[in-house]
Amino acid sequence: MESIGVLMACPMNTYLEQELEKRFNLHKFWTVPEKSAFLTTHKNSIRAVVGNAFAGADAELIEALPKLEIVASFSVGLDKIDLAKCKEKGIRVTNTPDVLTDDVADLAIGLMLAVLRRLCESDRYVRSGKWKKGDYKLTTKFSGKRVGIIGLGRIGLAIAKRAEAFSCPINYFARTEKPEIKYKYYPSVVELAANSDILVVACALTEETRHIINREVIDALGPKGVLINIGRGPHVDEPELVSALVEGRLGGAGLDVFEHEPEVPEELFGLENVVLLPHVGSGTIETRQAMADLVIGNLEAHFLNKPLLTPVV
Report the interface residues with another protein, using CB under 8 A. Answer: 11-12, 102-103, 106-107, 109-111, 113-114, 117, 119-120, 122-127, 131-132, 135-144, 161-162, 164-167, 261-264, 266, 268-270, 275-278, 280, 283-288
Cβ 295 to another protein shortest distance, Å: 16
On the 0-12 / 13-18 / 19+ scale of CB atoms within 10 A, 195 is middle
Query: In terms of CB distance, is 125 or 172 closer to another protein?
Result: 125
187 and 158 in contact (C-beta within 8 Å)?
no
Cβ 154 to another protein shortest distance, Å: 14
279 is catalytic: yes
Which of 55, 77, 73 shows the shortest CA–CA distance to 11? 55
Cβ 124 to another protein shortest distance, Å: 8
Query: In terms of CB distance, is 117 or 154 closer to another protein?
Result: 117
Sign of the CA dihedral running 220, 225, 229, 233:
positive
3-state secondary structure of 253: strand
225 and 253 in contact (C-beta within 8 Å)?
no
Query: In terms of CB distance, is 32 or 308 closer to another protein?
Result: 32
Query: In terms of CB distance, is 247 or 266 closer to another protein?
Result: 266
Which of 173, 211, 210 shows the shortest CA–CA distance to 192? 173
107 and 81 in contact (C-beta within 8 Å)?
no
61 and 18 in contact (C-beta within 8 Å)?
no
Cβ 281 to another protein shortest distance, Å: 9
186 and 207 in contact (C-beta within 8 Å)?
no
Cβ 164 to another protein shortest distance, Å: 7
Q: Distance between CA atoms of 191 and 13, rounded to whole angstroms?
A: 40
Measuring CA to CA, how many Å separate 219 from each of 27, 170, 214? 47, 20, 9
3-state secondary structure of 171: strand
Cis peptide before 262 (omega within 30 of 0): yes
Strand 252-255 with 226-229, pairing: parallel
3-state secondary structure of 280: coil
Options 27, 47, 162, 232, the catalytic residue:
232
Query: In terms of CB distance, is 20 or 212 closer to another protein?
Result: 20
Cβ 42 to another protein shortest distance, Å: 23
Q: Distance between CA atoms of 154 and 131, rounded to whole angstroms?
A: 41
Query: In terms of CB distance, is 117 or 184 closer to another protein?
Result: 117
Query: In terms of CB distance, is 88 or 286 closer to another protein?
Result: 286
Options 27, 47, 118, 279, the catalytic residue:
279
Cβ 313 to another protein shortest distance, Å: 28
Residue 90: DSSP 8-state: T
User: Would you please indicate which residues are annotated as catalytic (active-site) residues?
Assistant: 232, 261, 279
